[in-house]
Amino acid sequence: MPRRVCELELASGVDPSWVLAEVAGATPDGPARSEDRVLVDTFDGRLHAAGVVRGEGEPVADALRAGRALLPVARVRSRAGEFVVRNGDAKIVVRLRAERPEVVGDGDRPVPLPARVTVREVLGYADAYEEVLARLKAADGLVETGRSLLAAASWAVGRDPAGVDGKVRLSLGRSGRAGDAARELLLQLADVAEANVPGALDDLDVEFLHDLRVAVRRARSVLRELAAVFPPDALAHVRAELKWLQAATGPVRDLDVQLADLDVLTEGLSDARRADLDALRALLWRHRATQRRKLRAALRGRRAKAALESWRTLATQAAQGAGAADRPVAELAAERIRHVHRRMVRDGSHIDDASPPEALHDLRKRGKELRYLLELFGPLFAADVVRSLVRALKELQDVLGRFQDRAVQIEVLEAVAGELAGADGGPSALMALGLLVEELRADQERARDEFRDRFERFAAKDQRALVKRSFA
């Protein structure tokens, strides 16, 4: 069981060292010292969400494993001291920290933050921790805070410590106007897209580009599913521009996935063969650098800026529309969910061992359409029904996604084979590349074999009845 930690804020003017001595009976554990540090978090606030107190431990490691960069939030300067409470045997039973922090910036006047006391449990002395904490909470001028120093510093510099999570939330009820729903969703998605552009430009981590692309795909889904609420000419223009933006960001994302998967894909090869693929990895990085230059030019160009502006403009036009825009959003969403689910069941039922790969790819795209419908409009319907449908859909999508990913990876690897042959270490790399392509083909076939079982669960009679009944 992890040891407990509690943070308390002090009222202005209260000396935390005096409080610890007088209220908690604590004594200094070394001299007070000055600290000057930069607090960090991920763009989507993962450390804040995990309740990180000092920027240590598993949440930090989890954020790094998820591919998110730790970015500077605020520079904090503190006067801090460590304190301990000892029992009759002179053993330390509670550890405490007193801190007077302030946010400092380049040339700006420091912004004082409330002084804070951190109380830490010592293993084996739970009762002492609870007793000291109770005395401190009962003292005047101390308040248990629900925010960490990271959160306090974030608010001080005007940043929401929750970060940007990429999710959109429909606030309207079932009877809300479809036009208002389209406006709300499109504007939220535009906010997410624009927030991720700087990180994608600076290549801070690969998730910025990924989240930008997801926001664009979801916006395209809104335009498709609620097409009837938009002016036709403006709708056609924005759909074309978002399709262009999706295409402009695709090559770098494909290479990001290829590079990220390379280590996993080569696990079955010998150490020597994996080393032979260093030339391939270097070649893919050079291709990525080339595509990155094109991506930066596209995102900084007039067309991308105009696409985002027309995206927002179209959102306001949807809210002002009539006809379909006045219909309850739940009606339109239910129609689209039923329609897309019915098409998936029909198309998937026709896929057999002789079907071309394009049939599975088209079904995967249809599955994405249904997934976005459920993500965007799911709150309008029964949560248990949506969860059941998403679970079955996700299992199917995992197999279809693996099948398509392997196809793309094989295509990319075969396309660079000629270039790889002339590189240093190319002949050895080509031999290893052949083994890798063979494994990719084998895994693609395994995914195809798994498809039928996953699809039958997705298209089962009870699932079809559930959709028909729940989205009537």
- 356-372 per-position pLDDT tens digit: 999 999 999 999 999 99
For position 429, what pLDDT does the model report?
86
Tell whether 164 is covered by a domain: no
Task: Dump pLDDT digits (tens) for 398-425.
Answer: 999 999 999 988 998 888 888 888 878 7
Whether 215 and 323 share a structural domain: yes
Whether 192 and 120 share a structural domain: no
Task: Dump pLDDT digits (tens) for 122-178.
Answer: 999 999 999 999 998 888 777 777 778 888 888 888 888 888 877 888 888 888 999
Helices and strands (H, E) in the chain, number of each type: 16, 8
pLDDT above 90 covers what percent of the chain? Answer: 55
CB 336 within 8 A of CB 380: no
Tell whether 252 is covered by a domain: yes
Q: Which domain holds residue 326?
A: 178-470
Q: From CA 199, how far away is CA 88, in angstroms rounded?
A: 55
Q: From CA 134, how far away is CA 378, in angstroms rounded?
A: 44
Q: From CA 343, how far away is CA 267, in angstroms rounded?
A: 38
Query: Can you read off the two tokens belonging to residue 174?
Result: 């079932």
Arithmetic mean of pLDDT, 77-94: 92
Q: Which of 210-214, 266-270, 363-367 has the lowest mean pLDDT?
A: 266-270
Tell whether 173 is covered by a domain: no
Tell whether 258 is covered by a domain: yes
Parallel/antiparallel/unpaired status of strands 116-121 and 5-10: antiparallel
Q: From CA 346, how far away is CA 342, in angstroms rounded?
A: 6
Whether 87 and 202 share a structural domain: no
Residue 36: pLDDT band (50, 70, 90) is very high
Whether 63 and 137 share a structural domain: yes
Q: From CA 137, how far away is CA 269, in angstroms rounded?
A: 59
For position 24, what pLDDT does the model report?
86
Residue 55: pLDDT band (50, 70, 90) is very low
SS (H, E, C) 224-242: HHCHHHCCHHHHHHHHHHH
Of 37, 109, 49, residue with least CA distance to 73: 37
For position 432, what pLDDT does the model report?
86
Whether 63 and 193 share a structural domain: no
Q: Quick one: CA torsion of 40, 45, 49, 55, rounded to 10 degrees?
A: -10
CB 93 within 8 A of CB 128: yes
- In the predicted model, what is the mean pLDDT of the chain? 89
The number of distinct structural domains making up the chain is 2
For position 65, what pLDDT does the model report?
59
Q: From CA 209, how far away is CA 458, in angstroms rounded?
A: 31
pLDDT at residue 348 is higher than 80: yes
DSSP element (H, E) containing 144 = strand 142-144
Whether 361 and 432 share a structural domain: yes
Q: Which residues pair with 118 in a beta bridge?
A: 7, 97
Whether 111 and 210 share a structural domain: no
Task: Dump pLDDT digits (tens) for 291-305.
Answer: 999 999 999 999 999
Cβ-based neighbours of 454, under 8 Å, separated by 6 or more: 395, 396, 398, 399
In this structure, is the dihedral angle defined by the CA atoms of residues 465, 466, 467 and 469, taken in order, positive or negative?
A: positive
Tell whether 52 is covered by a domain: yes
Task: Dump pLDDT digits (tens) for 173-194.
Answer: 888 999 999 999 999 999 999 9
Domain of residue 313, CATH code: 1.40.20.10
Query: Can you read off the two tokens belonging to residue 362?
Result: 């088209």
CB 22 within 8 A of CB 142: no
Whether 14 and 109 share a structural domain: yes
For position 435, what pLDDT does the model report?
87
Whether 24 and 87 share a structural domain: yes
CB 303 within 8 A of CB 353: no
Q: Estimate to the nearest angstrom the gap between the alpha carbon of 199 and the chain centroid.
A: 13
Task: Dump pLDDT digits (tens) for 224-253.
Answer: 999 989 999 999 999 999 999 999 999 999
Whether 97 and 218 share a structural domain: no
For position 185, what pLDDT does the model report?
95
Of 304, 322, 161, residue with least CA distance to 229: 322
CB 400 within 8 A of CB 363: yes
For position 52, what pLDDT does the model report?
62
pLDDT at residue 48 is higher than 50: yes
For position 57, what pLDDT does the model report?
45
Tell whether 238 is covered by a domain: yes
Between 449 and 166, the higher pLDDT residue:
449
Query: Can you read off the two tokens belonging to residue 261?
Result: 């998967």
Task: Dump pLDDT digits (tens) for 463-472.
Answer: 999 999 998 8
Arithmetic mean of pLDDT, 20-32: 89
Residue 36 has φ and ψ, to the nearest 5°, of -135, 110
Q: From CA 378, how far away is CA 388, in angstroms rounded?
A: 12
Query: Can you read off the two tokens belonging to residue 376?
Result: 């965007």
Residue 56: pLDDT band (50, 70, 90) is very low
Q: What is the DSSP track for 434-455?
A: HHHHHHHHHHHHHHHHHHHHHH
For position 1, what pLDDT does the model report?
60
Cβ-based neighbours of 131, under 8 Å, separated by 6 or more: none
Q: Look up residue 356 and give its DSSP letter.
A: -
- Final residue belonging to a domain, choices 156, 186, 216: 156
- Residue in the block written with tokens 């896929």: 351
For position 301, what pLDDT does the model report?
97
Please give the biggest Cα pair distance in the chain.
82
Whether 316 and 439 share a structural domain: yes
